[in-house]
Amino acid sequence: MSLLVKGGTVVGPTGTRVADVLIEGEKIVAVLDPSFSPTITVDEVLDASGKYVIPGGIDAHTHMELPFGGTAASDTFDTGTRAAAYGGTTTIIDFAVQRTGEVVQDGLAAWHAKAEGECHIDYAFHMILGGVDADALKAMDQLVADEGITSFKLFMAYPGVFYSDDGQILRAMQTARENGAMIMMHAENGIAIDVLVQQALAKGQTDPIYHGITRPAALEAEATNRAIALAEVAQDCPLYIVHLSASQALEKVAEARHAGRNVFAETCPQYLYLTLEDQLGAPGFEGAKWVCSTPLRSKHEPHQRDLWKGLRNNELAIVSTDHCPFCMKDQKELGLGDFSKIPNGIGGVEHRVDLVFQGVVDGKLSLERWVETIATTPARMFGLYPQKGIVQPGSDADLVIYDPNGTTRIGVETHHMNMDHSAYEGVEIKGRVGTVVSRGEVIVADGNYHGRKGRGKFLKRGLSSYLM
């Protein structure tokens, strides 16, 4: 099957140009001056005139079917990857889980079983280490060498669930430094947060807004700084801070990066657009929709301004979603009367490409940075480049034809995620995902779905190509 994407403006990390993209089978074989195209015979032509042609989005942080807080994320690998495809994301990197006392390889096998035959788009895994011991450290080497798992997530939060102490973190970082892996860090001081949570509940402060108040920015910054220090002791182990939300934490990342350290960070759309007061502080229990960790930050502080600036100057490398959806009914409602029991997570895998493009419309990002933050840098950071994340010969034919003159209105009635609400209800984006191509196959066109469950492939990843 051959396909020609004709007349569009191809956007990459280094610039834009009007070009035609020739696809044979699952690969891009040429990016051509349009004057060459009349000499080419293909099976199908897609007209991209007046539109952007970008690499398929890579969401490097999702949690499909994640057990959490007595329930599980409401999107399966089937529903979640289908929704991602609608939104222009053609690859996700999800998280396999090992808990204390469990065998790391068993956790990976469990996530393979969840995903195999279910995914509409390509997928890969990071590995959560919830119990760092001698066996887990050996498993890190084996997963890097044999399984294509080259990044490991640790938690400074959630004591009794996923928490690792500084000694465990240091040992994991030392192991990663030797085998070339990336350490991903949930950076919040969970021990101190637990104290604040219990004090709030003792005062009768049970509403969802207290989830944010008891997780102050200072404790995100402290943990971020501590993780950076531990990575330095581990001989500059590559460190990636997940879901960074606070200006103070960003300052610590920026300081390390300016010193030439292999320290990176992502943020998420919820921190660029939503706030403690307007969402978490919604009347009654409504704020539970927006309970996530790290939490939404105050609109009276400069967090959103600083995060956009961080994206512009590459202090923040990537926009991921931390997609971990829960329905209000029977899931978020587990925390009625006790905010600490609300399952943590926001759904957004379908909306990331559009929401970051709104930053281009608003003059906060360039087109090139849009593509870098949603596709190219995730591919480079996590060992998928140049197979993914770029429109060039030899790369997988993962493309989005994006209409900058279209509009997208977000809401529960139109989204495809398995949720009974939308975190962005009523938000209107100036821009629209038109056609989505995954490995040479048109899976979304004109708002209609043409893909199928099980066509997504597992991707064994290499080491990061983004290190200094």
Note whether 366 and 376 are within 8 A (CB).
no
In this predicted structure, what is the pLDDT of residue 468? Answer: 84
Q: Is residue 432 part of a domain?
A: yes
122 & 155 share domain? yes
228/236 Cα distance (integer angstroms): 9
What CATH number has the domain bearing residue 15?
2.30.40.10
186 & 234 share domain? yes
In this predicted structure, what is the pLDDT of residue 38? Answer: 76
Q: Is residue 464 part of a domain?
A: no
347 & 428 share domain? no
Q: Is residue 351 part of a domain?
A: yes
165/182 Cα distance (integer angstroms): 18
The amino acid occupying position 133 is D
The pairing of strands 182-186 and 151-155 is parallel
Q: Is residue 185 part of a domain?
A: yes
32 & 79 share domain? no
Q: Which residues of the chain have pLDDT under 70?
A: none
23 & 68 share domain? no
Q: Is residue 468 part of a domain?
A: no
In this predicted structure, what is the pLDDT of residue 70? Answer: 87
Q: Is residue 465 part of a domain?
A: no
- What is residue 162's three-state secondary structure? coil
In this predicted structure, what is the pLDDT of residue 37? Answer: 74
49 & 61 share domain? no
In this predicted structure, what is the pLDDT of residue 376? Answer: 98
Q: Tokens standing for 162?
A: 């996923």
Contacts of 160 (CB under 8 A, 6+ apart): none
Q: Is residue 133 part of a domain?
A: yes
- What is residue 467's three-state secondary structure? coil
At residue 300's C-alpha, the angle toward residues 297 and 306, to 5°, is 65
382/65 Cα distance (integer angstroms): 22
In this predicted structure, what is the pLDDT of residue 144? Answer: 98
137 & 49 share domain? no
Count of domains in the chain?
2
pTM of the predicted protein model = 0.98
pLDDT tens readout for residues 6-21: 999 999 999 999 999 9
Q: Tokens standing for 95?
A: 């998280």
11 & 149 share domain? no
31 & 139 share domain? no
112 & 29 share domain? no
CA dist 461 → 174, 271, 406, 445 (Å): 21, 28, 35, 29
Q: Tokens standing for 124?
A: 């890969």
112 & 251 share domain? yes
What DSSP line would sit under 217-231, residue for residue?
A: HHHHHHHHHHHHHHH
435 & 396 share domain? yes
In this predicted structure, what is the pLDDT of residue 233? Answer: 98
Q: Is the peptide bond before 294 cis (omega within 30 degrees of 0)?
A: yes
What DSSP line would sit under 47-106, residue for residue?
A: E-TTSEEEEPEEEEEE-TT-EETTEE-S--HHHHHHHHHHTTEEEEEEEEEE-TTS-HHH
Among 141, 159, 161, 185, which Cα is nearest to 99's?
Answer: 161
What CATH number has the domain bearing residue 257?
3.20.20.140
Measure CA 342 to chain center. Answer: 22
Query: Range of 74's domain?
Result: 56-381
pLDDT tens readout for residues 220-247: 999 999 999 999 999 999 999 999 999 9
In this predicted structure, what is the pLDDT of residue 35? Answer: 87
Q: Is residue 416 part of a domain?
A: no
